[in-house]
Amino acid sequence: MDWPMESAQPRWIARTLQLNAGQDPLGLQSMTQDRLMPSLLPGILELSDTARYMSFHAFLLDEYARRKLPATTANLSTFVKRCEWDLGLAVQRCPRRCGSSPVGLTRLRQATMDDGEIGRGESVQSPLGGYGLYYRSPMATLGLVARAGTELGDRPTTVDVLRTDSARARRLAEGFRSAVADTAYVQHHLGTEVPLPQAVVEEYAEHACLCRLDTRPGERQAIHDALFTDDDGAPQPAGELDQRRRSVAHFLTLLRSEPDVARTESAYRRAAAGASGERGAEHRWVAGQWAAVMAKDVWQEALCSLWTDFCRRGLARSRTDGLGLDAGTVRGLVPELLAGPPLVDPAMPASELAADPPPLPVADDRPVAVADADLEDLRQATRRLDSAASGLVVILELAGRVTARTGPGWTEVLESDSAWQRPVDTALTGVRRLVDEGATADELLWWLLSRFVIERHEVIAYSKLPDFTFRFRWEEGLLRFVDHGRGRFPTASVRHSPLRRLTRDLGLWEDGDVPRLTARGAALVDEVLT
């Protein structure tokens, strides 16, 4: 038989390896995201930062059940995403021009207008919309929502439902319903698909916009209670409520001492790193926890400087010498890395470098004096310099400073590890040991590179196959570098945005020329930390 020529040609179904630069090549972000933040601020995610979305989504789940709509996740998802779209249209037309950012803003910008009517749509593509992305997990953690599959009575629920056994959940839904029940949107348009008259959206905006909690004291109190109180019907996991209350109250004490905490993450990091917790044992505990998170991020930024400088120089040497570097050549990169900035003598004892560190030249007229700088200055300096030498100087300074602080909260965080990295306390103890043993700057930098950069990256990258995230790997006795992203990797969120925005929405502080705590905020601090 004569076969067509093309039938003998190979036809690939899919790539074996998928190129992916990856976001956490050394496993340092996962320590914060997966271990520390869920423990220190349970029930609050980085993007679950708008208080009124909690009462809005509670209302949607309750309304879905009241209407006896099909008890499937697919149908609930469509309902939620359409209602989020409609709320987004209202937020865009807020008469206060508040500038709030609704879920699905990118899609909302494409909304059509025809003869005074606005087209309908869905907020985002993801299942269950913004609720599923940002609020489902927190509301379940808070004991407000039972997810699909949760045993309720003698059978599991087939769809997410508001927990009717939680008085806090019922008050939350009723808080939003009481604000919007008389609007034409809720009475005639909620759940429909036809275009919305502009006047209907504008009326809805007056009552439903995300900025309106200041006119709804009962609804605001219901959200406050959902976050900071418990009830017998749906109790929260042991310890989570107390930890969340302590962390939020501690944030408010930082804001009271340094108002810029409300405005910039840098000010928040600076204040948290230096806070001691002056209001008693529980405050010292939570202050120690958050101070240690900031110290951990200094370690991460310094290690990132080692990483980026090593990748840059290794890739450049590979292009000069051939396909890869043998072990001796890799080890020989260390003196080049110490060329800075700042310039460090490879033969200098690490103890001398620690005792008299060179200034970090982030600007010609304002070099950072390492011994006098706070941890946030050091974090920013090595980030800007992006050099292995600056990372080594900062790690030495950090290793010395962490010994000056003790306490259970501080120790708890610094002794936390991840699936990929050793605890920060273990790493810095190793640094101090090598310094005491007389290691040179060259030897200490090589120890850090080999243990926390080269070895860790290979283990992590192999675990992600078939996603190919390698920036380098050993092959046949050579370290082969890949031009697959040489920039810095970001630090993980330290929850500044949700802490700042949720506490403002709840009226715990108010903005102005100088942000300041309100009486409600001061009362929460006194209740939790006294």
What does the alpha-carbon distance between residue 332 and residue 196 come to, in Å, rounded to a whole number? 69
DSSP state of 276: -
Phi, psi of 517 (to 5 degrees): -65, 145
* Tokens describing residue 170: 């019922």
Q: Which residues, in sequence order, are bridge partners of residue 113?
A: 118
Mark out the alpha helices in 258-403 (DSSP H runs): 265-274, 281-321, 327-331, 333-337, 350-355, 375-385, 388-401
In contact, 24 and 489? CB cutoff 8 Å: yes
Calculate the alpha carbon distances from 86 to 48, 93, 99 in Å.
19, 11, 16
Spatial CB neighbours of 27, under 8 Å, sequence gap ≥ 6: 418, 419, 420, 421, 456, 460
What is the percent of the chain with per-residue pLDDT over 90, rounded to a whole number? Answer: 84
pLDDT, tens only, 191-249: 999 999 999 999 999 999 999 999 999 999 999 999 999 987 777 888 999 999 999 99
Q: Around 365, how many Cα atoms within 13 Å sit in the side-chain half-sphere?
A: 0
- Who has greater pLDDT, 51 or 18? 51
**Exposed e or buried b per residue across 98-108, where buried means at least 16 C-beta atoms within 10 angstroms of its C-beta:** eebebbbeebb
Tell whether the model's pLDDT for residue 14 goes beyond 90. Answer: no
State the chain's mean pLDDT as an integer.
94
What's the pLDDT tens digit per position in 480-499? 999 876 689 888 899 999 99
Count of residues making up the chain = 530
Pairing of strands 467-468, 18-19: parallel
Q: Kindly report the backbone phi and psi dihedral angles of residue 478, in degrees, each rounded to the nearest multiple of 5, phi listed first.
A: -120, 140
Residue at 210: amino acid letter: L
The identity of residue 208, as a single letter, is: A
d(CA 217, CA 214): 7
Q: How many helices (H) and strands (E) does the chain have?
A: 25, 13
Q: In one letter, which amino acid is 484?
A: H
Query: What b/e sequence results for 417-438 when a residue is b if at least 16 CB atoms lie within 10 Å of its CB, and e otherwise?
Result: ebebbebbbebbbbbbebbeee
Q: Which two tokens stand for residue 165?
A: 């056994």
Residue with tokens 């010994």: 403
165 SS3 class? coil
Q: Is 339 exposed, middle or buried (0-12, 13-18, 19+ CB in 10 A)?
A: middle
Maximum pairwise Cα distance, the chain = 90
pLDDT of residue 15: 64
Place of tokens 């913004």: 130
Structure tokens at 503: 């506490």
Q: How far apart are CA 227 and CA 248, in angstroms?
A: 10
- DSSP state at residue 341: S
- Give the range among 17-26, 70-79, 507-516 with minimum mean pLDDT: 17-26
Q: Where does 13-120 have alpha helices with state H? A: 28-30, 37-40, 52-66, 73-92, 105-108
Q: Report pLDDT digits (tens) over 154-179.
A: 889 999 999 989 999 999 999 999 99
Question: What is the pTM (predicted TM-score) of this model?
Answer: 0.93
Tell me how crowded residue 7 is: count the other CB atoms within 10 A of its CB. Answer: 7
**pLDDT band (50, 70, 90) for residue 13:** low
22: confidence class by pLDDT, cuts 50, 70, 90: confident
What span, in angstroms and rounded, lies between the C-alpha atoms of 147 and 168?
17
Q: With bands split at pLDDT 50, 70 and 90, how would you rate the model's confidence at 10?
A: low
d(CA 518, CA 505): 12
Q: What is the pLDDT of residue 456?
A: 95
Q: Burial, 80: exposed, middle or buried (Cβ in 10 Å; 0-12, 13-18, 19+)? A: buried
